[in-house]
Amino acid sequence: MTTRNLEVLTRAGIHARPASMIAETANRFESTIEIEKENMRINAKSIMGIITLGATYRTKLLLICTGDDEEDAANTIEALFKNRFE
């Protein structure tokens, strides 16, 4: 299992476009990829799941990847957050 602490750095938070980018990226990997906010854990391959997190500016999230390509998945999704979904 590989984990990363993430922070939402976009002022608009995670809305449809970033959620779509996260899910699209997560779906390229075989690993199970989840995002946790407080006591809610969702499947990062689901756009609707990501949106239900209600992640606003400066929200802290935990990325959890489990599988053969977990390290690559974690690094790639972490980069999306660091680059503010650009």
Residue 52 belongs to domain spanning? 2-82
pLDDT confidence tier of residue 83, bands split at 50, 70 and 90: very high
- Is 65 among the residues known to form the active site? no
- Contact at 8 Å (CB) between 7 and 80? no
Give the number of other Cβ atoms within 10 Å of residue 55's Cβ.
Answer: 22
How many domains does the chain fold into? 1
Give the number of other Cβ atoms within 10 Å of residue 58's Cβ.
Answer: 11
Measured on CA atoms in the order 24, 30, 36, 39, is the torsion positive or negative? positive
- Contact at 8 Å (CB) between 6 and 57? no
- The CATH number of whichever domain residue 40 belongs to comes to 3.30.1340.10
Strand 60-66 to 32-37 pairing = antiparallel
| Model confidence pLDDT, tens digit, residues 33-73 | 999 999 999 999 999 999 999 999 999 999 999 999 999 99
Whole-structure pTM value:
0.94
Catalytic hit among 3, 4, 15, 21 = 15
Give percent of the chain with pLDDT exceeding 70: 100
pLDDT at residue 52, rounded to an integer? 96
